[in-house]
Every structure is written in C-alpha cells, then in structure tokens.
C-alpha cells in the first residue's frame, strides 16, 4: 500500500494488487462528502434513523464522515461495512482525514475507534452510531439485514469485475428497503444497465471534481 495525497490535501491509498486508488485523486474527502454523505442527507430529510451497508469499507473514510454526520444531526445510524482486505491500523493511523475535519467533532478519536473496533462484532461508537465491520468476500456474503442506503465503493469494474455483476446487484436490491438508495461513483453504461436489470431506478447527479456525474440507484 502507498500513501498518496489527493488534490484537496486529503490522503488516499494506492493498492498495487488492483492498480487502483481507494479514493479519487481529485480529492478523497471531497468525493466522499459528495457521493456518499450527500445520499445520507438526501434520505435524512424524511427519516430519523438509517441502516447503511458499505460495500468496500477500505480506509474507513465513509464510516468516519457518516459517524460525524450522525452525531451532528442526531441521526441514529446502524453502519455495516464489508471488506475482504482490511487496512491495517498502522497504515490507517497515517491517514490525515481527522486533521482536515472540524476538531469540535473529535474526528481523530472516532477514526481510531472505527479502525480498532473488532471485526464481525457490533460496537456502539456514540449514542447515534453503531458500527459492525464484516471481513468477507462480498460475492459470497449473504446479508441478513435490510438497509436504507448502500455505499457501493468497490474498485472500478475493470479492476475488480467480480464486484460489478447483475447477480450481486440483485442480491443487494433484495436487501434494500423500499425508498432506499444505492450510491456509487461509477456511471459506466454496463453498470447502469445491470442496476436497471436488477430492479433499480437509476439516476445521475452532478459529480465531484474529476467526475462529471455519479449514480443514485433507487428501490421504488
């Protein structure tokens, strides 16, 4: 793993195994706020609690921003994150996200707790955020929980094609609550077609720097 500084000053990791970065090099923090926390805020206009599933837990950045958002808005969040290749704590300690976020939310403490929470157990990080990290291969994982929101943050289809299949999207559709969203940065035509075939209503929204558009896939 290689530590990389992105255009907004926040870190990402480069994974030689996949030849891919975990986050956009145009801005890791900027991308996560826009693609994933934007979806949280879209749903919280009509809900006081959310169940979230992240496919590709990675650096824990999306979990950190969700944890802070839950605390700020008093939004009750149950957060499940699935990851086959967990980032080691020694490496996550080098990531600079906490130093770039408002200190009044104590992001360093939450980021440390997120990465040091045991796998395959539920942990209460604060009264509004419950974390359950799942060490698993998503292609064989059978969720036993229903979700309001799915963060689909796997590596790109050409780097990790097994993570972008109609069968997997059908499984996730089944486990998504009505009115829920699957949010992803990927807008490739083949991905849109697979999501539609799985039952989703697919829409595009403007993307963050470096991405003209990103996807919201709804279960009506």
Whole-number pLDDT of residue 120: 95
Q: Say what the pLDDT of residue 105 is.
A: 83
Closest CA to 208 of 55, 68, 28, 19: 28
Cα 76–203–182 angle (5° rounding)? Answer: 35
Give 85's pLDDT tier (boundaries 50, 70, 90): very high
- Averaged pLDDT for residues 77-84: 96
* Residue 10 included in any domain: no
For range 191-201, the mean pLDDT:
97
Residue 121 lies in a domain: yes
Predicted model pTM: 0.95
> pLDDT, tens digit, for every residue of 53-75?
999 999 999 999 999 999 999 99
Place of tokens 């999501």: 195
Residue 104 has pLDDT above 90, yes or no: no
Locate all alpha helices (DSSP H) within the chain, ordered by sequence: 28-32, 38-43, 61-73, 89-92, 97-100, 107-116, 166-174, 189-198
Q: Which residues span the domain enclosing 78?
A: 28-218
Residue 48 lies in a domain: yes
SS3 of residue 144 by DSSP: coil
Query: Across all residues in the chain, what is the average pLDDT?
Result: 95
Provide the number of structural domains found in the chain.
1
Q: 15 in a domain, yes or no? A: no
pLDDT tens, residue by residue, 46-57: 899 999 999 999
- Is residue 207, in this structure, part of any structural domain at all? yes
**What single-letter DSSP state applies at residue 34?**
I
As a whole number of angstroms, the longest Cα–Cα distance in the chain is: 44
What CATH number should be reported for the domain holding residue 188? 3.40.50.150
**What's residue 103's pLDDT?**
85
Q: What's residue 182's pLDDT?
A: 98
150 inside domain: yes
Instruction: Look at residue 8 and tell me if it is in a domain.
Output: no
Residue 149: the pLDDT is 98
What's the pLDDT band for 80 if we cut at 50, 70, 90? very high
What pLDDT is stored for residue 191 in this prediction? 97
pLDDT digit string (tens) for 129-154? 999 999 999 988 888 899 999 999 99
**Residue 142 confidence (pLDDT):** 86
Residue 60: per-residue pLDDT = 97
| 18 within some domain | no
Tens digit of pLDDT for each residue in 152-189? Answer: 999 999 999 999 999 999 999 999 999 999 999 999 99
């Amino acid at each position: 793993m290689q530590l990389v500084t992105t255009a907004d000053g926040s870190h990402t990791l480069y994974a030689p195994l996949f030849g891919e970065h975990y986050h956009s090099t145009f801005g890791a923090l900027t991308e996560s706020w826009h693609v994933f926390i934007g979806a949280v805020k879209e749903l919280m206009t009509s809900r006081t609690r959310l169940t979230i599933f992240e496919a590709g837990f990675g650096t824990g950045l999306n979990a950190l921003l969700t944890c802070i958002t839950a605390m700020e808005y008093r939004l009750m969040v149950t957060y499940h994150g699935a990851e086959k290749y967990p980032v080691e704590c020694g490496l996550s300690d080098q990531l600079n996200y906490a130093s770039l976020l408002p200190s009044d939310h104590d992001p360093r403490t939450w980021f440390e707790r997120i990465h040091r929470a045991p796998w395959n157990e539920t942990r209460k990080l604060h009264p509004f955020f419950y974390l359950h990290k799942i060490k698993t291969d998503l292609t064989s994982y059978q969720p036993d929980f229903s979700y309001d929101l799915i963060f689909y943050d796997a590596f790109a289809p050409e780097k990790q094609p097994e993570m972008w299949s109609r069968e997997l999207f059908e499984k996730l559709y089944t486990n998504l609550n009505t009115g829920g969203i699957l949010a992803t940065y990927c807008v490739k035509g083949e991905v849109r077609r697979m999501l539609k075939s799985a039952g989703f209503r697919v829409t595009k929204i403007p993307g963050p720097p470096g991405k003209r558009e990103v996807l919201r896939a709804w279960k009506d």
